[in-house]
Amino acid sequence: MKSPSQVLDPFFKALWPFFKSATRSFTDRRISLWFALVGLVVALLVTLVWLAGRYEASQYQAELDRDTVDAVSDIRRSLTNHSMNLQSLTARSLSAKHWRAEAEGLLSQHREWLRVERRGLQGLIIEHASSPFREPLFDGITRLHEQVEITQTCTRAKRLNGPAYSRTYFVPQANGLGFEVMEMCLPKIEQGATVGYTVLTYSLQDILASQLGETYGRRNEVSFVEPDGTRLAVYGSLPRGKRFFSATQLMNLPGNTLVLRMDGRRAGPDLFPNVLPALVTAMSIALVSVLVLLVKDSRRRLKAEQDLADALAFRKAMEDSLVTGLRARDLKGRITYVNPAFCQMVGFEAEQLLGASAPMPYWPTEMVGEYQRRQAVRLAGNAPPREGFESVFVRQDGSRFPVLIFEAPLINAVGKQTGWMSAFLDISEQRRVEEMSRASQERLQATARLATVGEMASLLSHELNQPLAAISSYATGSLNLIDQHQSLADQPGPSALSDLHMAFERIAAQANRAGKVINSVHDFVRRRDQDREAVSPRAIIDAVLPLVQLQARKLNVRLSIQLDDKLADVVCDRTMVEQVLLNLARNGMQAMDHPQCLNRVLTLHVKRAASNKAQGWIEFDVIDLGIGISDEISQNLFTPFFTTKAEGMGLGLSLCRTVVEQHGGHLEFEPNLPGGTLFRFTLPTQA
């Protein structure tokens, strides 16, 4: 099978490279578009996941910030409460014993309190009490190292008329550890004047533990830090986790500013920390899956499109290369499709034909009625004969031509008839060839006949010489007899008259015979155009007999004519059949014209065909005792112009077979044992 590009017409071939390059660039562009889409989707998904992670982190950071602010305000509130608790201790002038008892009571309520001191206006310690939860922090009563700091703080408290806080400092312990502590000084005011102070020492770590431990300390690490980041006190521990978050908040106290820092960690996978990113990721996976499916689908569709384009190109090439005209009509008889061959056939453009309905522009005007009736029959659902039917169309230029039409119902994909499909063959060329071959066959026959006639003419001249010579000698004899009686001037006697009578009779007989010979030739030539007729086999034999006899006499052949009884008439072109018989008889006689052939008998036997009795065929056998036919010769026997004779034309047998077969019969031959050949042909009878 040829590929579409091989059978495309030149125009389409010229367009093909452009079409291909256009398709390729279109395909390239489509592929790069797909890549761009995939890239964009991937970028979008990555961004979404990243943003979701970021959002998550910012949420957590905001939460931590909020917690830090809350924590600072919690601490501040409790410090204020502490100062108020202490105020009750400070305001009253208690005895040393009572003061200590109350102070220890307060100390046992607050773990973060390390020590409470009652100081005089000069800053000297009057009473002090330590936390029952730990070893006393300072040795002895005097705290010389811290004195300066405490004095400054108390001065500030006096000035503020309220609590003031010292800077933090580290107090080492005997066990190698120590505390970061902060002092709070509360002035004792009596009648508007400061008369002494109460100093409270805080443990920073315990502030964190008692104030934030329960709430924030579980999830985070809380610490007080210096502005440079140095940690002063830490509580809680950092949970395990990859991502680290931190928030700081300033805590302004009168006389000191602390920085509270809260550190947290987030555990769990960063990619799917919670529902949102998980959702986004799931959607992304779904999106990518859909994308992959789309790509696959598009690839399949691309292939289908390619196949379809190939099939279309193939179909178009096939349609264009067809010489058969194609036309489709819908069920209302309107033309829905014509191929280029049909347009070329009728000389109209496809646009002029599409949509046209009866009467069609290519119908001869006088046939419109008949064609319309035919179309109505077709549209009523009657299928035309499968072998097609003939019709005549007229071209746009007015010339007419015969067409052979095949019609079939047009069935769509769901099996419903949507119209009729017709194929048209322009048979004008076929008609011309048929006519030519008929003419040439006729010419061939005429030539063969002429050859036979020429041969017969020479035989005639030979044969006519005999009766003419006989006539001439009888006439001469008769004249001599008359002259003899005239010179003797006597009346011819009865014997002379009977001689003359006999001579004239012979003259008449010979003239009659010559006339018959001439008539038989005349008949043979004259009857060539006659149609088939019923002829008795005997009449055929009788017609050829004079001519056969002529040659038989010349070649010294004896004729044996055998006709069965009650033979039916045969239906044939009489002249042609006579010629067949004549040819076969002549060939048989010529085959015996050989020195070896001593017994020269030609038998013409007419009988009912043994094998085809029922059908009523008559068989003509022409049997000679000649030299026979060798295998080599028998292969070419019926080939036109094959001859073994110097003066032969080689047309006789091929012509004979054509004639017999035209009558529906067959011509065959077989060896005639012990010598010679039997030619047999059959003809149909009238029955």
Smallest separation (angstroms) from ligand ADP to the CB of 363 = 50
Nearer to ligand ADP, 421 or 451 (CB): 451
Q: Which residues have C-beta within 8 Å of that of residue 417, sequence separation ≥ 6?
A: 331, 409, 410, 411
Nearer to ligand ADP, 112 or 624 (CB): 624
428-488 and 652-662 are packed helices; what angle lies between their axes, rounded to 10 degrees?
110
Nearer to ligand ADP, 372 or 636 (CB): 636
Residue nearest to ligand ADP (CB): 652
Nearer to ligand ADP, 146 or 624 (CB): 624
Q: What is the 3-state secondary structure (H, E, C) of 322-386?
A: CCCEEEEEECCCCEEEECHHHHHHHCCCHHHHCCCCCCCCCCCHHHHHHHHHHHHHHHCCCCCCC
Nearer to ligand ADP, 356 or 627 (CB): 627
Q: Is 442 helix (H, G, I), strand (E, B) or coil?
A: helix
Q: What are phi and psi of 381, to 5 degrees?
A: 105, 10
- Asked whether 575 and 524 are in contact (CB, 8 A), the reply is yes
Torsion of CA 185, 191, 193, 195, to 10 degrees: -60
Q: What is the DSSP letter of 527?
A: G
For the chain, how long is the longest CA-to-CA vector? 232
Exposed, middle or buried by CB within 10 Å (0-12, 13-18, 19+), for 682? buried
Smallest separation (angstroms) from ligand ADP to the CB of 369 = 53
Separation CA 580–CA 353 (nearest Å): 55
Smallest separation (angstroms) from ligand ADP to the CB of 319 = 49
Smallest separation (angstroms) from ligand ADP to the CB of 648 = 3
Nearer to ligand ADP, 242 or 594 (CB): 594
Smallest separation (angstroms) from ligand ADP to the CB of 645 = 5
Smallest separation (angstroms) from ligand ADP to the CB of 451 = 8
Smallest separation (angstroms) from ligand ADP to the CB of 598 = 16
Separation CA 114–CA 103 (nearest Å): 11
**Phi-psi region at 336: left, alpha or beta (left = phi > 0; alpha = psi -120 to 50):** alpha
Smallest separation (angstroms) from ligand ADP to the CB of 647 = 8
Span between the terminal Cα atoms of the chain, in Å: 53
Separation CA 76–CA 74 (nearest Å): 5
> E strands along 379-471, which residues?
389-394, 400-411, 417-426
Q: What are phi and psi of 199, to 5 degrees?
A: -110, 125
Nearer to ligand ADP, 38 or 451 (CB): 451
Nearer to ligand ADP, 414 or 646 (CB): 646
**Interacting residues with ligand ADP (CB under 6 A):** 583, 587-588, 591, 624, 626, 629, 633, 637, 642-645, 648-653, 677
Enumerate the β-bridge partners of residue 352: none
Q: How far is CA 588 from CA 457, 533, 542, 600, 681, in A?
A: 20, 27, 18, 10, 14
Nearer to ligand ADP, 90 or 672 (CB): 672
Place of tokens 């889409």: 37
Smallest separation (angstroms) from ligand ADP to the CB of 629 = 5
Smallest separation (angstroms) from ligand ADP to the CB of 552 = 14
Nearer to ligand ADP, 147 or 639 (CB): 639
